[in-house]
Amino acid sequence: MAGLAPIDRAKAQAELIIDLDALVANWRLLAARSAPARCAAVVKADAYGIGTEQAARSLFHAGCKIFFVAHVSEGVRVRAVTGAEAEIYVLNGLLSGVERLQSYLSYGLKPVLGSLHDLQLWSGSGIGASVPAALHVDTGMNRLGFGVDELLSLAGMVQTVRVDLLMSHFVSSELPKDGLNDQQIARFEKLRSAFPALAASMANSSALFLPQQPFFDLVRPGYALYGGNPTPGSKNPMRSVVTLRTPVLQIREIKAGESVGYNVQWTAKRKTKLATIGVGYADGMPRNLMATDQRAGGEAVVNDKLCPFAGRVSMDLTVLDVTDAGDVRPGTMVELLNARWGVDEMAERAGTIGYEILTNLSRRYHRIYKGG
């Protein structure tokens, strides 16, 4: 996906409209919610698929001065569009190699250290005395980060490097009733009292909506900035950021009993009007959105009506049942993602999460950035 040149409008099958004003409004809403804690923006993975440069630039001008990325390469891209003033943390920790360590110094990137190995490497590099780092403590994920007791035992060694942030990450913050949230907060509090001089950060998007309000000094939302629902099961408090539109390529009518698509998975129960669109799984449309005779698949908005998918999603094509959508003809615009049918709705049908939908948004789409 990444690496393909931008596709111009006349040659693209579909267009992805990215509303940077909505992105900024979402950041402001989360910043107001978490104040007086500072609000960062997580812009890893090409800003969850919407575009690192556009997202980081808009957010920086709106007042966001702290960014989190996963990779050094992403940090370099954020630095290029923000001022020297922006603080950029690299979540995935250090990877060995002198050249890579040098990038932290050259671009002023702050590594998020999460193991004794990281700490030794950083301390030994000589860079650790000048560029500040963050310490990531694992309070339950068992993925990246120091163990709680491990970090307590390393307090002396931590003195050998500059550190300005202590952070941890929630396992189930989108489930407010999960008891692990309280346990993680308690473990984090224990460490915070051992490192009282460090700013502290725990909250991702969903944690901004937890009753415990674990905001500390800095919050780190990603998903909600891009319009994803941080409160699954309740109304989405965020503004929609992405709209995906594509024209109908062809219309056909079939009789009851005829099938649609590969392997006869979907059979018409009535006389049916079908519309074929030029978006498929190669565009990041999950193949799991297939509609079979056993289960409903994806849906798309045509003439303000939700129209179900019919049959399997192909590589470059998908078929919709537009029987109930009124006047549909070649060229009629179909919306696959919009404010009404967003990444959460699509993800639920596909058996995945909206994060995966966003980060798979194809480079084949012509991208249109609004506002910002």
Ligand X SMILES: *Cc1c(COP(=O)(O)O)cnc(C)c1O
- For ligand X, which stretch binds (CB under 6 A), given 1-9, 219-227, 256-264, 281-289? 219-227
- 205 near ligand X, rule: CB under 6 A: yes
Q: Cβ closer to ligand X: 229 or 318?
A: 229
Q: What gap in Å lies between CA 326 and CA 317, rounded to an integer? A: 22
Q: Rounded to the nearest whole angstrom, what is the least distance from the CB of residue 222 to ligand X in the complex?
A: 3
User: Which residue among 20, 31, 41, 42 contacts ligand X (CB under 6 A)?
Assistant: 42
CB 296 within 8 A of CB 349: yes
Q: Cβ closer to ligand X: 184 or 205?
A: 205
Subset of 138-177 contacting ligand X (CB under 6 A): 169
Q: What gap in Å lies between CA 246 and CA 170, rounded to an integer? A: 37
Q: Rounded to the nearest whole angstrom, what is the least distance from the CB of residue 121 to ligand X in the complex?
A: 20
- For ligand X, which stretch binds (CB under 6 A), given 52-60, 216-224, 320-328, 362-370? 216-224
Q: Cβ closer to ligand X: 170 or 266?
A: 170
Alpha-carbon distance values, 341 to 136, 299, 336 (Å)? 36, 8, 7
Q: Rounded to the nearest whole angstrom, what is the least distance from the CB of residue 158 to ligand X in the complex?
A: 19
Task: Write out the DSSP string of 100-156.
Answer: HHHHHHHHTEEEEE-SHHHHHHHHHHSGGGTS-EEEEB-SS--SSSB-HHHHHHTHH
Task: Write out the DSSP string of 276-299.
Answer: EES--GGGT--GGG-B-SSS---E
Q: In the numeric block, which tokens belong to residue 130? A: 């000048």
Catalytic residue from among 65, 104, 255, 262: 262
- 27 near ligand X, rule: CB under 6 A: no
- 281 near ligand X, rule: CB under 6 A: no
Q: Rounded to the nearest whole angstrom, what is the least distance from the CB of residue 292 to ligand X in the complex?
A: 32
Q: Rounded to the nearest whole angstrom, what is the least distance from the CB of residue 196 to ligand X in the complex?
A: 22
Q: What gap in Å lies between CA 275 and CA 291, rounded to an integer? A: 14
Residue number, nearest CB to ligand X: 222
Alpha-carbon distance values, 285 to 33, 305, 357, 363 (Å)? 33, 20, 8, 12
- 93 near ligand X, rule: CB under 6 A: no
User: Which residue among 54, 82, 204, 272 contacts ligand X (CB under 6 A)?
Assistant: 204
Question: 36: buried, middle or exposed (CB in 10 Å: 19+, 13-18, 0-12)?
Answer: exposed
Question: 154: buried, middle or exposed (CB in 10 Å: 19+, 13-18, 0-12)?
Answer: middle
**Catalytic residue list contains 262:** yes
Q: Cβ closer to ligand X: 187 or 220?
A: 220
**Catalytic residue list contains 281:** no
Q: In the numeric block, which tokens belong to residue 192? A: 């915070």
The type of residue at 175 is L
User: Which residue among 38, 77, 192, 220 contacts ligand X (CB under 6 A)?
Assistant: 220
Q: In the numeric block, which tokens belong to residue 104? A: 């932290």
The type of residue at 9 is R
Q: Rounded to the nearest whole angstrom, what is the least distance from the CB of residue 50 to ligand X in the complex?
A: 13
User: Which residue among 91, 131, 218, 322 contacts ligand X (CB under 6 A)?
Assistant: 91
Q: Rounded to the nearest whole angstrom, what is the least distance from the CB of residue 74 to ligand X in the complex?
A: 12
| Window 53-72: contact mask with ligand X (x via CB under 6 A) | --------------------
CB 335 within 8 A of CB 303: no
CB count in 10 Å sphere of residue 124: 12
- Catalytic positions are 44, 262
Interface residues toward ligand X, by CB under 6 A: 42, 44, 91, 169, 204-205, 220-224
